[in-house]
């Protein structure tokens, strides 16, 4: 009867595909022979109950997320026995959401609370595989758009995800499904035997692509050691793993990794010398986190009883050192070049991997911080989902959470709890300070009070955001430098062009001066930015017309404000306070832009802004979620919107940002701050607390200084 049912399903698959694409399915006897020979599994992952509290917590997160997402599965029109989350196209958004949740389903199928839960998860896993496996290589079916999904830019990643999930339940799959899955893993692995790993540093690193391309290669070698290509795959996996995160210096190094000098591979670099990397035309911490794609392959080697190669961890600690520096107290990150993906991405997997594989107590601390946030995120939603609909736009993001939870569980199941976490004080002591990223072209300071950065590379922007569980500030890509609009002139091809810059780091502060060309050179914007050790940032700007123009819009001194009442650490509406006024801004309700008079404003009694020129501010209370965030804006009140002659001064003004400062403290600083501003000669001097900040804005780049004074605080 079992053979008859399998034959019936295969006949269905043959009918639904076009005759030109149909593959010859071997007989059951041939399939059994392959599964006992070239596709013989090395071993089944051990089935043990959760051994420690971290494993149990990750298992519960996996269960809740997986059970919720399963409700979105729907039948595939081309095969009633298959189910999927998408429409079944052969593209990333047609395949990846399905392959990504397989490891979560596999974990629940093996470790679910009840037999019914385990059986239901297994049934859904099998149903998804009945779309994934037959539409690749040896399978008889085509995707909904009439194409196979193999041999694509990202198909190696999808194959690796499908293979890891299938391995966990290999003994529960029928022979045809095992055979089809083995073929898709090995087909993708074979692609990388004879080609060279690509490399690129500027704009679009190949780091994460090389790392995910290595996944099915190592997986095939570990799953199928009797396959004739197994030895080649094992070597090729090291090539692709090692090529992922190399600097230029590494490519010329005599250092021996896995028995061979790195330079003998003739690889190119994917990392800047300062261990940052660029993707989406910016230094991108989210892609720096893809060190996890290499490190998570530890599981496949462990299940096969082999020691992982050194290549999977090459430069991981150097990259991770910066990820720690970027991390906000709720487990998210700060993005000195802006973030074009969602801001609700809490990324525990790299922390778990670094903690367990490198005995790193700081990463153990961050893993627990991330887990606390994720558990609260799930509790917001009755069905246990982590994200709310407005918090994401990338279709695979929910599945990324499933995959990371399940992988964290499996890691702790295999490797134990790991080291005791560092204390919060120890973490801050180790990661606070000033870091200059010469190659990445930004500088940042981290203190107990918050994050301050200035970037002058692919993005020219500044950030000053207070620390706390709530993240009130967004990585606005026009941070501080803002936007300018001219009447009768098309939008500029490039909003801001850097002409000159000088950045000076100190042990507990930094200064930066830059000359910028705005609006295709129509306006010169000279800026100064200073970060001080007591949680204060200073921004000073001077704008001059380089030719006759009519200023139609001016939004500078710009700060992005997140106003998301649904977020787990935001307690109600944002509360704005300025002299004589308190106003609550509900992030869910629309309102018009309004002006704030006077010299200071406080947001949520923790984030203060001073206008030493007493210009006042404007606030944009946007309520629409865009790119997974509800972002509002605070600006300095604009200069006069009128005609300006060539050489005429448009504005010279200052903004002081106080991190983790109450409204009372902000008001007190506003009363005590002393400013001397000389617009005619472009000089500004500010004195407050025990600091003096000066800027000569007519120099190019501006000369900026910060010095301690003897004044009492």
pLDDT tens column, 512-537: 999 999 999 999 999 999 999 999 99
Determine, yes or no, domain membership for 640: yes
Separation between Cα atoms, residue 294 and residue 190, nearest integer Å: 18
Domain with residue 632: its CATH number is 2.70.98
Q: What is the pLDDT of residue 5?
A: 37
pLDDT band at 36 (very low <50, low <70, confident <90, very high): very high
Over residues 49-68, the mean pLDDT reads 95
Mean pLDDT over each residue of the chain, to the nearest integer: 94
Residue 11 has pLDDT above 70, yes or no: no
Residue 2 has pLDDT above 60, yes or no: no
Three-class DSSP category at 512: strand
Q: What is the pLDDT of residue 14?
A: 35
pLDDT tens column, 657-680: 999 999 999 999 999 999 999 999
Q: Please identify, among 158, 191, 224, the residue that sits at the C-terminal boundary of a domain.
A: 191
pLDDT band at 561 (very low <50, low <70, confident <90, very high): very high
pLDDT tens column, 240-290: 999 999 999 999 999 999 999 999 999 999 999 999 999 999 999 999 999
Stronger pLDDT, 591 or 9, i.e. the higher one: 591
The packing angle between helices 397-415 and 348-358, to 10°, is 20
Q: Please identify, among 165, 191, 217, the residue that sits at the C-terminal boundary of a domain.
A: 191
Q: Please identify, among 142, 172, 191, the residue that sits at the C-terminal boundary of a domain.
A: 191
Determine, yes or no, domain membership for 505: yes
Residue 101 has pLDDT above 70, yes or no: yes
pLDDT band at 495 (very low <50, low <70, confident <90, very high): confident
Determine, yes or no, domain membership for 289: no
The number of domains in the chain is 2
DSSP string, 421-482: PPPHHHHHHHH-EEEEETTTTEEEEE-SSEEEEEEESSSEEEEEEE-SSS--EE--TTTBT-
Give CA 671 to chain center in angstroms.
41
Residue 309 has pLDDT above 50, yes or no: yes
Q: Is 271 exposed, middle or buried (0-12, 13-18, 19+ CB in 10 A)?
A: buried
Cβ distance 145 to 447 under 8 Å? no
Determine, yes or no, domain membership for 217: no
Determine, yes or no, domain membership for 279: no
Determine, yes or no, domain membership for 485: yes
Determine, yes or no, domain membership for 11: yes
Cβ distance 66 to 121 under 8 Å? yes
pLDDT band at 10 (very low <50, low <70, confident <90, very high): very low
Q: What is the pLDDT of residue 15?
A: 32
Determine, yes or no, domain membership for 455: yes
Element (H, E) at 240: helix 230-244
Q: Structural domain of residue 116, as residue ranges?
A: 1-36+78-191
Q: How is residue 437 written in tokens?
A: 């990223």
Over residues 625-650, the mean pLDDT reads 96
Virtual CA dihedral for 137, 142, 143, 147, nearest 10 degrees?
A: 80
Q: What is the pLDDT of residue 49?
A: 87
Give just the sign of the alpha carbon dihedral 315, 447, 476, 381: positive
Smallest Cα–Cα separation from 243: which of 211, 273, 216? 211
Q: How is residue 543 written in tokens?
A: 């704008």
pLDDT tens column, 191-211: 999 999 999 999 999 999 999
Cβ distance 317 to 294 under 8 Å? no
Residue 712 has pLDDT above 70, yes or no: no
Residue 713 has pLDDT above 60, yes or no: no
Percent residues over pLDDT 90 in the chain? 94
Separation between Cα atoms, residue 486 and residue 422, nearest integer Å: 52
Percent residues over pLDDT 70 in the chain? 96
pLDDT band at 220 (very low <50, low <70, confident <90, very high): very high
Q: What is the pLDDT of residue 23?
A: 60
Q: Is 709 exposed, middle or buried (0-12, 13-18, 19+ CB in 10 A)?
A: exposed
pLDDT band at 48 (very low <50, low <70, confident <90, very high): confident
Over residues 56-62, the mean pLDDT reads 98
Q: How is residue 391 written in tokens?
A: 């918090």
pLDDT band at 492 (very low <50, low <70, confident <90, very high): confident
């Amino acid at each position: 009867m079992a053979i008859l049912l399998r034959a019936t399903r295969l006949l269905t698959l043959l009918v639904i595909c076009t005759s030109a694409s149909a593959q010859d399915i071997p007989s059951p006897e041939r399939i059994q022979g392959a599964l006992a020979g070239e596709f013989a599994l090395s071993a089944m992952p051990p089935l043990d109950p959760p051994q420690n509290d971290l494993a149990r917590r990750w298992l519960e997160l996996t269960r809740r997320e997986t059970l919720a997402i399963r409700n979105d599965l729907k039948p595939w029109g081309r095969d009633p026995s298959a189910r999927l989350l998408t429409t079944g196209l052969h593209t990333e958004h047609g395949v990846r959401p399905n392959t990504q949740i397989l490891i979560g389903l596999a974990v629940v199928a093996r470790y679910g609370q009840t037999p019914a839960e385990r059986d239901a998860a297994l049934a859904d896993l099998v149903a998804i595989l009945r779309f994934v496996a037959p539409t690749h290589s040896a399978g008889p079916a085509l995707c909904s758009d009439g194409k196979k999904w193999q041999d694509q830019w990202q198909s190696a990643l999808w194959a690796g995800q499908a293979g890891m999930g299938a391995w966990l339940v290999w003994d529960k799959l029928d022979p045809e499904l095992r055979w089809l899955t083995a073929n898709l893993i090995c087909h993708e692995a074979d692609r990388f035997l004879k080609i060279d790993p690509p490399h690129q540093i500027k704009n679009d690193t190949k780091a994460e692509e090389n790392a995910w391309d290595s996944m099915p290669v190592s997986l095939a070698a570990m799953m199928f050691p009797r396959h004739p290509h197994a030895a080649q795959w094992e070597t090729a996996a090291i090539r692709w793993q090692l090529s992922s995160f190399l600097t230029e210096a590494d490519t010329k190094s005599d250092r021996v990794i896995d028995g061979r000098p790195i330079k003998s591979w003739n690889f190119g670099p994917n990392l800047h010398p300062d261990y940052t990397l660029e993707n989406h035309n910016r230094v991108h911490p989210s892609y720096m986190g893809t060190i996890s794609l290499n490190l998570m392959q530890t599981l496949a080697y462990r299940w096969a009883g082999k020691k992982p190669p050194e290549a999977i961890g090459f430069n991981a600690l150097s990259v991770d050192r910066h990820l720690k520096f970027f991390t906000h107290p709720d487990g998210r990150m700060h993005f000195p070049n802006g973030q074009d993906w969602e801001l609700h991405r809490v990324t525990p997997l790299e922390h778990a991997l670094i903690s367990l594989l490198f005995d790193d107590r700081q990463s153990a601390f961050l893993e627990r911080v991330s887990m606390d946030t994720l558990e609260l995120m799930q509790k917001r939603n009755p069905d246990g989902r982590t994200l709310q609909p407005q918090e994401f736009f990338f279709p695979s993001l929910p599945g990324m959470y499933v995959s990371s939870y399940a992988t964290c569980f499996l890691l702790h199941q295999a490797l134990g709890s790991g080291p005791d976490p560092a204390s919060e004080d120890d973490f801050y002591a180790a990661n606070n300070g000033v870091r200059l990223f010469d190659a990445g072209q930004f500088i940042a300071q981290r203190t107990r009070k918050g994050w301050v950065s200035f970037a002058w590379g692919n993005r020219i922007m500044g950030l000053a955001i207070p620390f706390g569980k709530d993240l009130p500030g967004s990585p606005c890509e026009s941070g501080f430098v803002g936007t300018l609009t001219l009447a009768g002139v098309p939008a500029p091809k490039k909003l801001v062009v850097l002409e000159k810059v000088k950045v000076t780091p100190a042990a507990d502060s930094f200064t930066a001066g830059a000359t910028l060309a705005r609006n295709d050179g129509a306006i010169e914007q000279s800026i100064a930015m200073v970060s001080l050790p007591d949680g204060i940032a200073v921004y000073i700007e001077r704008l001059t017309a380089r030719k006759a123009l009519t200023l139609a819009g001016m939004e500078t001194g710009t700060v992005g404000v997140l106003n998301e009442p649904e977020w787990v650490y935001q307690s109600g509406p944002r509360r704005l306070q300025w002299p004589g006024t308190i106003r609550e801004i509900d992030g869910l309700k629309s309102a018009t832009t309004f002006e704030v008079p006077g010299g200071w404003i406080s947001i949520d009694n923790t984030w203060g802004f001073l206008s030493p020129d007493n210009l006042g501010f404007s606030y944009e209370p946007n309520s629409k979620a865009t790119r997974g965030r509800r972002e509002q804006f605070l600006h300095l009140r604009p200069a006069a919107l009128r005609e300006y002659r060539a050489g005429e001064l448009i504005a010279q003004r200052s903004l002081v940002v106080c991190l983790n400062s109450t409204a009372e403290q902000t008001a007190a600083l506003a009363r005590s701050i002393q400013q001397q501003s000389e617009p005619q000669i472009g000089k500004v001097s500010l004195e407050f607390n025990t600091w003096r900040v000066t800027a000569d804005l007519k120099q190019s780049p501006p000369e900026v200084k910060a010095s301690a004074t003897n004044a009492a605080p």
